[in-house]
A and B are shown apart, each in its own frame.
Chain A
Amino acid sequence: MWMIVLLLLPACLALAIWLAPSERVRPWLVPLGASIYLAAAQFVVWGDIPADQLSAFDGWLQLDPVGKLVLAYLSAFFCLCAWYVPGYLALRAERPNRVFCANLLLALAMMTLVVLSHHLGLMWIGMEATTLASAPLLYFNHNARSLEATWKYLIVGSVGIALALLGSFFLAYSAIHAGLESTLLFDDLVALGPQLSPPWLRAAFVLLFVGYGAKMGLAPMHTWKPDAYGEAPGVVGALLAGGVTSCAFLAVLRVQQICAGSSQADVTREMMVGMGLLSMAVAGVFMVGQRDFKRMLAYSSVEHMGILVLGIGLGAAGVYGALLHLFNNGFTKCILFLSAGNIHRAYGSKSVDVVVGALRRVPLSGALFLTGFLAITGAPPFGPFLSEFTIANAAFSTGNFWAGGAYLALLAVVFVGMGTTVLGVVQGNPPAGDERGEFRDSWRTTAPLVVALGLILMLGLYIPAPLESLLRSAAAAMEAPR
C-alpha cells in the first residue's frame, strides 16, 4: 500500500499543479507538495512498518535498506530545493511557469519509481522517464544556449540509457545462457548472481555501468553536464546534481549488488575504482582555470560522482563512506548551486571576469557560496570531510595505496582549481556603477540554503543513531551474500 502511495502522491501533486490556474499561487504549491511528500517518505523510512507492507506487485516495488536510504535523502533534498522555487519564480514572473512547476513534481515521481523498483526493466523505464521529465526544466529560459544544452542532455542521456537497456537484456540473457529461468527481478538476480554466465554478466555490467554512468555524468560520458548545469536555472542544476544523478547512482549500486556475489565481483570493483579516479582527474583538469563558475560546479559534480563510485569500488568501508557521501554531496550541492544562482542573478553574468566581490553585493549568498566550497572540498567540520576521509581510509586499509594516493592528490588539485575561481568570485570590490538588476538576498532565496548548511554541519559532527544503523545495514546489503 505504502509503495503505491509514495508513487502516486507526487504524480497527483504534479497533476494538481498543472491544473492550478494562478501563475502566482502555483509556485507555492511546489514546496507545499514537496513537504507532504517529505512527511510521507520519512514516515515510511523511519516508522516501524512491517516489511510485507513495503512491497507491492509481487516484489516489483520494494523498499530495502539501500532504497530507504536513498528515499530518506531524496525527499529531504527535493524539499530543500522546492522551498527555493517560489523565490526564484517570483524573480522570473515574465515566464510562464506551469510546465516548470508540474515537471518538477513529475520528475520527483519518476525518481521515486527508480528508488522503489526492484525490477531492472521497471527501473530503466523510471530512469528514462526522469530524463524526459527534466528536459523541459532545462529549457526553462527558452534561449539559444539553453536549447543547445537541452539537446545535448537529451541525446547523450538517451544513448546512455539505450545502452543500459541493452545491458539489462544482456543480464537477463546471462541467466538463459547459464540454463536458468531468465528474469529481471532484482532479488532473483542477486540470488542467482553466482550462477550467471560470466561473459554475459561482464558485458552486461560494462553496458549498464556506461549507460547509467552517462546519466550520473561520469567521465568520459560527462559532456552534457557542464552545458546543462551552466545554462539551467540554479535550482534545476541542483536538482540534476543532487537528485537525478543520485538516482542513476542507485541504479549503478543495484547492478553492483548483483555482481557482488558473482565471479565478476573483483573485475567490476576495479572498473569502478578506475572510472572513479578518471572522473576526478578529468574534473580536476577542467576546473583549473575555469572562468565560468556554474560550469565549475558541473565539473565538481563530475568529481563527486567519481568519488561515489570509487567508494563503492573499494568495498566494505568505502561503501559506507560512499553512501554517507550521497547525503553530504547532495546537501552541499544544494547550497552551491542555489547560491551560485543568486550570485548569477545579482550580476547578470556567470563569468569570473565580471563577477567580483560577491561578499559585498550579496553578503549572505556570497558567504554561503564560500562555505559550500570549503565544505565540498573536504574542510572540517562539515559532513563531506567525514565521508571523503572515510573513503581515503578505506583505500589505504584495503591496501589500495595507488588508488588512495591518487585520490588524495586529485582532491588537492580540485581544491586549488575550485578555490581560485571561488575566491575570485567572492573577494574584492564589486564593479562600481554597474548595478545590474535589483537582486538582493532575501529570506526566500537563502533560507533553504541555511537549512542545508545546518544539515551538513550536523552530519559532520554527529550522525543520528537511526541513520547510522540504516547506513550500516545498507552497506552490509552491498556486500556479497556469503
Chain B
Amino acid sequence: MTPQIVDLIVIAAIGLNFVALGVSRARTVIHAVALQGLLLGILPLFVHPHLGLRGALLAVGTIIIKGIVIPRLLFRALREVTLQREVRPLVGFIASLLLGAVVTGLAVMFSYTLPLAREHAEQLLVPASLATILCGLLLMTTRLKAVLQVLGYLMLENGIFMFGLLLLEAMPFLVEVGVLLDLFTGVFVMGIIMFHINRAFDSVSTEHLARLKD
C-alpha cells in the first residue's frame, strides 16, 4: 500500500514541475512550488513509517517552512512590488515545457544507469529527485524575474530533499533542521534583496542587473 502512495505523491511532484515551468503568472508558480513543498512534507511519513516522532516532527517542520512560511514570504514580496502579469522569460513557456520534458526523460534514463541499493531500485524517488533538480535549474536560468529565480532555487532544493529521503534513517535530525533553517534564511535574505531591487529599479526583473561586466 505505502509504496503506491509514495509513487503517487512523487508523480504529483513531477507534475508540479511542469506547472511551474509552463505558466506565466508568478502567483501560480508560487502556489505550485508551495504545493510541492507540502507534498514533500508528508512524504517522509510514507517512506519511513517507522520513524515515529522524528519523522512526524520533520514532516511538520517541512510543511510549515516549505509549504507555508516561504510561500507567504514570497507572496508578500510580490505584493510589495505591484505585480505585473506578464513575465518575459528568456525561453518561452512552450519551449521551457518541452525542455522540462526532455530533462525529465534524461533524468529517468540516467537514474536507470545508476547503481542503486536493491531496496531503492524500484522506487521513483531517485528519477523524480534528479528531474526536479534539473527543472529547478532550468527555471532559475531561463527566467528574469527575481522571484522566479528564487522559486527555481526552491525547486532545486525540493529535488535534493527527495534524494535525502533515501538517507533519512542515517541523517541526524539536527542536520535536517539546519538545512531547513538555512533554506528559510536564504529565501528571507533573497526576499530583502528583491525588495531593494524593486525600489532601486522600479521592477523586479534581473534584466537591470547587467551593468557589471568586463
Interface residues of A (CB under 8 A from B): 119, 121-122, 124-125, 128-129, 132, 135-136, 139, 142-145, 147-152, 154-155, 158-159, 162, 165-166, 169, 172-173, 176-177, 181-184, 197, 199-200, 226-227, 230-231, 286, 290, 295
Residue of A nearest to B159 (CB): A166
Nearest CB of chain A from residue B17's CB, rounded to whole Å: 16
Tell me if B133 is interfacial: C-beta within 8 Å of chain A.
Answer: yes
| Residues of B close to A152: CB separation below 8 A | 209, 212
**A152, A158, A226: which has the most chain B beta carbons within 10 Å?**
A158
**A124, A155, A181, A184: which has the most chain B beta carbons within 10 Å?**
A155
Cβ B160 vs Cβ A162 within 8 A: yes
Choose one: A125, A147, A182; the contact of B196 (CB below 8 Å). A147
Cβ B200 vs Cβ A147 within 8 A: yes
Nearest CB of chain A from residue B197's CB, rounded to whole Å: 6
| Residues of A close to B116: CB separation below 8 A | 177
Cβ A169 vs Cβ B163 within 8 A: yes
Tell me if B64 is interfacial: C-beta within 8 Å of chain A.
Answer: no
Task: Please give 4 more A-B residue pairs, beta carbons under 8 A apart, in addition to A121-B174, A165-B179, A169-B167.
Answer: A155-B190, A166-B160, A176-B170, A227-B212
User: Which among B40-48, B88-96, B149-157 touches the partner chain?
Assistant: B149-157
Cβ B193 vs Cβ A150 within 8 A: yes
Nearest CB of chain B from residue A381's CB, rounded to whole Å: 34
Cβ B212 vs Cβ A121 within 8 A: no
Mark out the residues of chain B between 157 and 208 whose CB falls within 8 Å of any chain A CB in the assembled complex: 157, 160, 163-164, 166-167, 169-172, 174-175, 178-179, 181-182, 185-186, 189-190, 193, 196-197, 200-201, 206, 208
Cβ B160 vs Cβ A169 within 8 A: yes
Instruction: Write 6 A-B pairs (CB below 8 A) sorted by A numbering.
Output: A125-B181, A166-B133, A176-B166, A184-B170, A197-B115, A199-B114
Count of chain B residues with Cβ under 8 Å from any Cβ of A? 43
| Residues of A close to B206: CB separation below 8 A | 151
Cβ B146 vs Cβ A144 within 8 A: no
Are A144 and B115 also in contact (CB < 8 A) when A166-B160, A226-B212 are?
no
| Residues of B close to A295: CB separation below 8 A | 214
| Residues of B close to A199: CB separation below 8 A | 114-115
The 10 closest A-B pairs by CB, nearest first: A121-B175, A182-B170, A148-B209, A125-B178, A227-B212, A128-B182, A144-B200, A166-B160, A172-B167, A177-B117
Tell me if B211 is interfacial: C-beta within 8 Å of chain A.
Answer: yes
Tell me if B140 is interfacial: C-beta within 8 Å of chain A.
Answer: yes
Choose one: A151, A177, A184, A226; the contact of B209 (CB below 8 Å). A151
| Residues of B close to A122: CB separation below 8 A | 174-175, 178
- How many A-B residue pairs lie within 8 Å, measured between CB atoms? 122
Cβ A181 vs Cβ B170 within 8 A: yes
**B115, B149, B182, B210: which has the most chain A beta carbons within 10 Å?**
B182
Nearest CB of chain B from residue A460's CB, rounded to whole Å: 32
| Residues of B close to A162: CB separation below 8 A | 153, 156-157, 160
Interface residues of B (CB under 8 A from A): 114-117, 133, 137, 140, 146, 149, 153, 156-157, 160, 163-164, 166-167, 169-172, 174-175, 178-179, 181-182, 185-186, 189-190, 193, 196-197, 200-201, 206, 208-212, 214
Are A135 and B153 also in contact (CB < 8 A) when A128-B182, A165-B160, A169-B167 are?
no
Bound-complex Cα distance A177 to B189 (A) = 37
| Residues of A close to B140: CB separation below 8 A | 155, 159
Cβ B200 vs Cβ A173 within 8 A: no
Bound-complex Cα distance A199 to B113 (A) = 11
Bound-complex Cα distance A142 to B199 (A) = 11
Choose one: B160, B164, B182, B208; the contact of A132 (CB below 8 Å). B182
Nearest CB of chain B from residue A123's CB, rounded to whole Å: 10
Cβ A151 vs Cβ B146 within 8 A: yes
Cβ B171 vs Cβ A184 within 8 A: yes
| Residues of A close to B210: CB separation below 8 A | 148
Choose one: B169, B171, B211; the contact of A121 (CB below 8 Å). B171
Choose one: A139, A173, A176, A182; the contact of B193 (CB below 8 Å). A139
| Residues of B close to A150: CB separation below 8 A | 193
| Residues of B close to A148: CB separation below 8 A | 208-212
Are A172 and B115 also in contact (CB < 8 A) when A128-B186, A145-B212 are?
no
Bound-complex Cα distance A162 to B179 (A) = 10
| Residues of A close to B174: CB separation below 8 A | 121-122
| Residues of B close to A136: CB separation below 8 A | 189
Cβ A176 vs Cβ B178 within 8 A: no
Choose one: B175, B181, B196, B211; the contact of A145 (CB below 8 Å). B211
